[in-house]
Amino acid sequence: MKFSFPTLSVARLSTLFFLTLLLAACVTSPTDEEAKASPNNDNCPSLSKRPDCPTIEQKACPSIKPRPCPASPAAKIADKQVIGETENVKIEPPGRVFLARIDTGAAGTSIHASNIVAFERDGRDWVRFQIDHPSIDTIETPNVIERPVARTVLIKQASSETLERRLVVKMTITLGSMTEQIDVSLSERTSMTHPVLIGRNFLRNLAIVDVSQRFIAE
């Protein structure tokens, strides 16, 4: 038995071939350019969140917290100067700077004195003394001072029941921005660290003492 197939014309074959190519083009996947341009591309988040889609994520810099500055003592409180428990003071005479302990428990101010000699000048009581405390360099310029005697006081030491008679002279003391001429008693302070003790007769109405600080007077 012989089979026969229908014969297709060249025109019909050409039409079928063209339709086949057209269908193949419709199902072709989009190019890389088209994928990047597509707003619904799953490989990249929406443009409202990120403008691009980098291939390598950048590491975020760790946040740096500012270090708090240490609290600095106030220069003044209620118009009173704040000073520490130890300060440098200038005393005239002799016009030199000495290390001073600030003591609110002491009523008066005192300074180390040795070789104390009382004498009379023009009918008045005077005193000559020397400031030669171990903390002071007095080899080249010894601090020999002569001052009129303002008065005499009796001082009771905390470690003794004996009253000590002291001569008092007027001296000008500068501590920070404060300068006052006050009574200063002459005392033997060789065994003490500070040649000068500043008491309430200088501090009253002028200063506030912060015992946690040292050398803060400006």
Nearest-angstrom CA–CA distance, 120 and 105? 34
Extents of the domains making up the chain:
76-210
Q: Where does 76-210 sit in CATH, by number?
A: 2.40.70.10
**Contact criterion met (CB below 8 Å) for 151 and 169:** no
Q: Mark the ranges of the chain whose per-residue pLDDT is less than 50.
A: 1-3, 5, 34-39, 41-42, 44-45, 47-49, 56
| Tens-place pLDDT, residues 68-92 | 655 556 788 888 999 999 999 999 9
- State the pLDDT at residue 166: 94
Residue with tokens 């012989």: 2
Element (H, E) at 44: none
The rounded distance, in Å, linking the Cα atoms of 38 and 52 is 13
Sheet (strand 207-210) strand order: 76-77, 80-84, 207-210
- DSSP secondary structure code for residue 192 in this structure: S
pTM of the model: 0.64
DSSP 8-state assignment for residue 105: T
The number of residues in the chain equals: 218
Helix (H) or strand (E) holding 205: none
